[in-house]
Structure 1
């Protein structure tokens, strides 16, 4: 049963006056050559598809590599200018500018900090891409809200906490229990 499934049937039609073994041999040879050409063409098409996909993957890898080389987040002004986009800036007079970095990373902003020379209270210029103006304003709003919360919620100092606990202990020691021993009944 399995031999029947594995066998192939080939139908070949030849027109001729007298069919000899050499004519049949030539016809089969021609058929096999055409079959081989068809198979080779199919493999060439497959190889072309593979190389096309490989080239496409290579291009995509190169593009990703270039994107990885572009700096993100905090960078120098030179790096921002190298990206070929228009820059905008905002003046800030905050000493704790480092905490802005966390908010900027959250919003995915490419920016650069430049400290103004000669300003008595330190002033900073924040340069960023002009297309990120809306994102930058949202980030500054959040940053300003965080800074206000920090200023409003003042934690009591550790020294004051210690002083209060010492006072409580002192009051506790003043209330020493007085024991009265009594023998017998009082009348």
Structure 2
């Protein structure tokens, strides 16, 4: 009986050892495959808006351009539409703050198209009257009409 228990214990120990060894070798193989796959893929490629560090890590050279303080959201939307990789930094020392846009040198043609459209959007917004200003004008007109209506009602009552 004791001999049977010892035999089962030894078998269990050998089985666990084999199992552990298989798990360890499988884990090492999967890690090696993961590293090979990652090396074949290369570094992670960022698209669109990114940090300056990510933009410069792509080793394609970067150029910068100063953009005004207004309409930076419009610039981002247009640049995303054209597929330009860019990074925006904000200079807080100046009042109002100025934005500098960094972009890859190879994106010059696309960036020219972005800047042309951005200028058109800014010009359109500058020519368009303010909604709040128009609302104030309509409020004043409504008040004048109310006063005229009250005067007519008073004249009719007398």
Measure, in 2, the Cα distance between the counterparts of 1:110 and 1:148.
24
| Aligned pairs (5 A) from 1:5-154 | 66=41, 69-116=44-91, 118-154=93-129
The TM-score normalised by the length of structure 1 is 0.54
Cα contact 2:50–2:86 (8 A) shared by 1:
yes
Identify which of 160, 169, 184 aligns with 2:137: 160
Structure exhibiting the larger radius of gyration computed from Cα positions: 1
Measure, in 2, the Cα distance between the counterparts of 1:166 and 1:119.
43
> Which of structures 1 and 2 has the larger relative contact order (alpha carbons within 8 angstroms, sep 6+)?
2
The TM-score normalised by the length of structure 2 is 0.62
Judge which range, 101-110 or 120-129, deviates more: 120-129
Measure, in 2, the Cα distance between the counterparts of 1:168 and 1:81.
63
Question: What are the superposed Cα offsets for residues 56-76 of structure 1, whole Å, 9 maximum, x if unpaired?
Answer: xxxxxx69xx59x42211100
- Deviation for aligned residue 1:83: 1.5
Cα contact 1:95–1:122 (8 A) shared by 2:
no
Q: Over aligned residues, Cα RMSD in angstroms?
A: 2.7
Gaps of at least 5 residues in structure 1 are: 1-61, 180-187
The residue aligned with 1:10 is: none
Cα contact 2:86–2:103 (8 A) shared by 1:
yes
- Name the structure with the higher helix share: 2
Structure 1 position 170 matched with structure 2 position 147: yes
Gaps of at least 5 residues in structure 2 are: 1-36
